[in-house]
Amino acid sequence: MTRYIKRTLIALAGAAFAIGIAGSSPAQQNSLKQQIVGTWSYVSVEITKSDGSRVQTFGDKPNGVAVFERNGHFVIALTRSKLPKFASNNRLNGTAEENQAIVRGSLTQFGTYTVNDADHSLMLHVTGSSYPNIVGTDRKFIITAITKTEMKWTIPAATSGGTATTVLKRSE
């Protein structure tokens, strides 16, 4: 081979390598756990019931955050965007109606999490929650889509009587 052909082949190989690196997404290179680490804001939470009807349990603009730390800890805080204020200005003196609206319109949970790359599952090991029935349980979420800026998961057979689908966006 002539020196010119060798240099051309080396240059083409280098260009192909560079294009390959530039064309590959970070999501393909990182594990699922590496991809979910960070702070995410809630975009929507929707339950599809067995009859096909849909309910947005936290309204059309939920106010919430999900934080996944590198060390395997998480915290989720979620509320309806328009919760009523307490007339007494004291949360300990709320009326039955005020307390019911707050309980129905909010959910917090925290604990540790694990990720299974093979089945795209996220397992939350709940150690504390505003909904005491899930404390001490493992909650399995299936991550159906994830990019640098958006994550979508489902919870099959959610406690609310259907499949819950959540969309989150990465907070900046």
Show me where the domains of the chain are located: 1-28, 31-170
Question: How many Å apart are CA 136 and CA 158, to the nearest integer?
Answer: 17
| CA 3 to the chain's CA centroid | 55
Whether residue 153 contacts residue 143, with contact meaning beta carbons closer than 8 Å, is answered with: yes
Of 131, 122, 134, the C-alpha closest to 168 is 122
**pLDDT at position 16 over 70:** no
In terms of Cα–Cα distance, which of 76, 37, 32, 82 is closest to 62?
Answer: 82
Phi, psi of 86 (to 5 degrees): -75, 125
> How far, in Å, CA of 12 to CA of 172, rounded?
38
The residue among 63 and 19 whose pLDDT is bigger is 63
What pTM did the predictor assign? 0.79
What is the per-residue pLDDT for 161? 74
Q: How many angstroms separate the CA atoms of 40 and 168, rounded?
A: 6
* Residue 170 · residue 49 · CB < 8 Å: no
Query: Given this model, what pLDDT does residue 29 score?
Result: 65
Domain 31-170 coded CATH 2.40.128.280: yes
Task: Give the range among 39-48, 150-159, 161-170 with minimum mean pLDDT.
Answer: 150-159
pLDDT at position 159 over 80: no
Three-state secondary structure call for residue 30: coil
Strand partners, 121: 116, 142
Over residues 100-108, the mean pLDDT reads 96
